[in-house]
Amino acid sequence: MALPRPTTHRSLPVLAMATALLAGALTAPAAARGPGPQAAPTPPKSPVAVGHGGVVASVDADASAAGIEVLRKGGNAVDAAVATAAALGVTEPYSAGIGGGGYLVHYDAKTRKVSTVDGRERAPLSATKDLFLEKGRPLPFADAVTSGLSVGTPGTPATWDTALRSWGSRSLAQVLAPARRLARDGFTVDETFRRQTADNQARFKDFPASAALFLPGGKPPAVGSTLKNPDLARTYDLLAKDGVNAMYRGPVGRDIVKTVRKPPVDPASGRVARPGDLTEKDLRAYATRKQAPTRTAYRGLDVYGIAPSSSGGTTVAEALNILENSRLKRLPQQTYLHRYIEASRIAFADRNRWVGDPAFENVPVRGLTSQRFADSRACLIKDDAVLTSPLAPGDPRRPASSCTTRGTAAPTPYEGEHTTHLTVADKWGNIVAYTLTIEQTGGSGITVPGRGFLLNNELTDFSFTPVSPGVHDPNLPGPGKRPRSSVSPTIVLENGRPAFALGSPGGATIITTVLQTLLNHVDRGMPLVDAIAAPRASQRNAATTELEPGLWDSPLRGRLEAKGHVFKLNPEIGAATGVQRLPDGRWVAAAETSRRGGGSAMVVRPSGKPPVR
């Protein structure tokens, strides 16, 4: 498991400091980068921004600035989202990039319609349920991660192409321009980037292309140094010139296939990097899915999420429906947290049993997101007792019989935690919530030689073997199958108009992060930036519930333990961003105040101060 990202010198620890910055430099796009030895100065970071003309929130200031640059030039939310994502491929290459995939949710202000793009990676067409078995036994997880076996067909370039063709107003070449410049001229390394590189040093050094890019002089780059990626700049140039066919039918794709089928490991390293079976046919056959979002009503709001192959939309919806009849606003904090934890436990029990790739599995989406099913499961929650995990799933096809803990549980398998999320809104009211990933920090650890990007390890999101013997597992590998995800980009409407949108990285903790942030904002009345900053708990149908230090060190922990809860410390859970439409027409962008080094919220034209409690 990757270590959490520490706070860096670029983060702002208190909201008051962020508010003071709003009138000035935080809104400036990245400066023009001409030839020279140093990167342009990194724009200041602030976790909150408010004003007009459009907003961008991401984990990285250079990436948010790329989105703002596109908005300033008249681009819309989709244009800015792709620009931001491409820049994250430069500055956050261990969490995102064109070697991975993701899920995008879009709100169209003209039609008031929410649409989604499933850009999840796919297994090779030759894959079977035994993909990660060797001599009948599952591979050690670390061996599977750092291999060609773990690499799924990338979906990120296809996601950009689908979104731009469907709702964008600029070409791929136009929106790639800021990221191409950033890759060519470099960015300033901060402590977070240096630490993540150090965490991967043992893997990166075994692959010459990864070592040459990320370990200059054989060591992680120094804080304050400039890191350039000319190979990625040239790859972006090729995508700008030839479109995504360069990936799916051209030279970039051929290089990916060659790398997966014969991982370019240093023979002197002694590392065994197992080959995968990805082919050019797999790339040609790849297509995104445009599909209806999940939808549920909560407190008079319409909550839209991503449907399977991700479990995010169904699981968030089920937990909200379980809590619909709880008056969370007026409850004491310990009772509120208890019910939130129990609702998460139940929703994950059902998610693990029922959700997989709908092209292969009969996923009962309507049942999982129905109020009737949630009510039948909510009866399990008692304020004076704690459910035991792993909890058996209910049956959304027969909700009347689901108020039971009998049956065989399906535990939650591990998912990589260091994805990235961005949220964008434009002056017309269009919104994009977009989560993209290469799986765990550093993905497979394998950089495509000459191309400047890491390959994903997304196929390790499959179950290696059935998680519950004798019970059908919807998340086993298959030919061309998408592994189940927990990505949860979410857009919330009120009377058909935007209220707010949010999302987070964090593997399976994405679902609980989005759920808890939404509850903090809607039920507990926190401003969005405070709802994001609040300490988190994450229960995923496990024997223990994870707590961040703010709750671990709180008297609330003892009170909840007295009920029967069992906790373990997690230094950091998720790294959310969001946007909110204010009644006066202004937009708020919100990001983390400290997690992952603090996030970056920017606005085209700042105006006034953020709302307060």
Q: Which residues are catalytic?
A: 419
Question: How distant, in Å, are the alpha carbons of 59, 274, 576 from that of 420?
Answer: 7, 27, 9
Helix crossing, 230-242 with 251-261: angle to 10°?
130
Query: Could you say which DSSP state residue 35 is in?
Result: S
Nearest Cα to Cα of residue 493 among 254, 292, 220, 302: 302
Among candidates 436, 433, 595, 573, which has minimal Cα distance to 529?
595
Buried b (16+ CB within 10 A) or exposed e, 584-594: eebbbbbbbbb
φ, ψ of residue 502 in degrees (nearest 5): -160, 170
The number of C-alpha atoms within 13 Å of 309 and in the hemisphere containing its C-beta is 30
The DSSP bridge partners found for residue 58 are: 600
Cβ atoms 50, 587 nearer than 8 A:
yes
* Rg of the chain on CA atoms, in Å: 22
Cα 442-8-415 angle, rounded to 5 deg: 30
Give exposure, 309-321, as e/b (b: 16+ Cβ within 10 Å): bbbbbbbbbbbbb
Residue 211 parent element (H or E): helix 208-214
DSSP string, 65-95: HHHHHHHHTT--HHHHHHHHHHHHHHHSTTT
End-to-end CA distance of the chain: 36
Contact 353, 404 (CB under 8 A): no
Q: Which of 388, 422, 540, 439 is nearest to 150 (CA)?
A: 439
**Could you tell me which of 486, 579, 604 has the C-alpha nearest to residue 107?**
579
Cα–Cα dist 211/582, whole Å: 47
With beta carbons less than 8 A apart as the criterion, state whether 535 and 524 touch.
no
Please give the structure tokens belonging to residue 255: 């290089």
Which helix (H) or strand (E) element contains residue 492? strand 490-494
Name the helix (H) or strand (E) containing 290.
strand 289-291
**Beta carbons of 262 and 272 less than 8 angstroms apart:** no
Q: Which of 565, 567, 560 is nearest to 335 (CA)?
A: 560
Burial class (CB in 10 A: 0-12, 13-18, 19+), 216: middle
Identify the CA nearest to 16 among candidates 531, 576, 529: 529
Task: Let me know: does 84 contact 436? Beta carbons within 8 Å.
Answer: no
DSSP character string of 238-252: HHHHHTTHHHHSSHH
